[in-house]
Amino acid sequence: MTSWSAHQSRPALVAGWGRTLGPVVAVLVLVLLTWWAPAGSAHDRLLSSEPDQGQVLETVPEAIELTFSDVPVPLGSQVVVEGPDGRDWATGDLQVVDTVVHQPVDPAAPAGDYTVRWRVTSSDGHPITGTVEFSTRSGGAPSGAADQGVTVGAVDAEPGGGGPRLVVAGAAVLVVLAGAVALVLRSRARA
């Protein structure tokens, strides 16, 4: 008779789990879907650059300015100004003022074709990348700094993992697992 009552209580126990765990899972799924839904369109985007894409300038610009749709995060942001000699002619610190990223350029940079490779951290925490190409007809005045240029390497498109969304997803999974374990332990304590 004891075994019969144990079998009778199991369906009630499973039904109790459904009543307790069901709403928790539903809320968790809703939160995760809301969190990920705008991810494709949430990244900031480049609105304009100075110099413009394909622009031909008389001389090397004093700085590169990139204007974005929202305020980028300075941490992890980088602008490389690759000259015709393959060197990075960016000098000084990158500055973010409102939605504009400002990167000074070495005044001794030579004439020729330039590729600006930029990577900024979007206001949503994700890295975004791009390039802007321009040319100059004449270079800057030679200086000792011209011999100290750095050879440009590739800029990583997506450094690291998935950022804050991955942390939230992991935490959500842990909460669901902890809830399930708590329910199992609670049901065993009653039996």
* Cα 5 from Cα 28, distance rounded (Å): 34
CB atoms closer than 10 angstroms to residue 85: 13
pLDDT (0 to 100) of residue 125: 85
pLDDT (0 to 100) of residue 44: 86
Q: What is the pLDDT of residues 12-64, one digit of tens each?
A: 555 565 566 666 666 665 555 555 544 445 678 999 999 999 999 999 999 99
pLDDT (0 to 100) of residue 31: 55
Q: What is the pTM of this model?
A: 0.55
Under 8 Å CB-to-CB from 35, ≥6 apart: which residues? 165, 168
Q: Would you list the DSSP string of 20-50?
A: HHHHHHHHHHHHHHHHHTTHHHHS--EEEEE
Ramachandran class of 86: left when φ > 0, alpha when ψ lies in -120 to 50, beta otherwise: left
Asked if 175 and 28 count as a contact pair (C-beta separation under 8 A), the reply is: yes
Could you tell me which residues are beta bridge partners of residue 120? 128
pLDDT (0 to 100) of residue 50: 95
pLDDT by position in tens, the chain (length 191): 555 555 555 555 555 655 666 666 666 655 555 555 444 456 789 999 999 999 999 999 999 999 999 999 888 899 999 999 999 999 999 999 999 999 999 999 999 999 999 999 988 888 999 999 999 998 776 544 444 444 344 343 333 444 444 444 555 656 666 666 666 677 666 76
Q: Is 156 exposed, middle or buried (0-12, 13-18, 19+ CB in 10 A)?
A: exposed
Where are the chain's structural domains? 42-151
Ramachandran class of 76: left when φ > 0, alpha when ψ lies in -120 to 50, beta otherwise: left
Q: 42-151: what fold? A: Immunoglobulin-like (2.60.40)
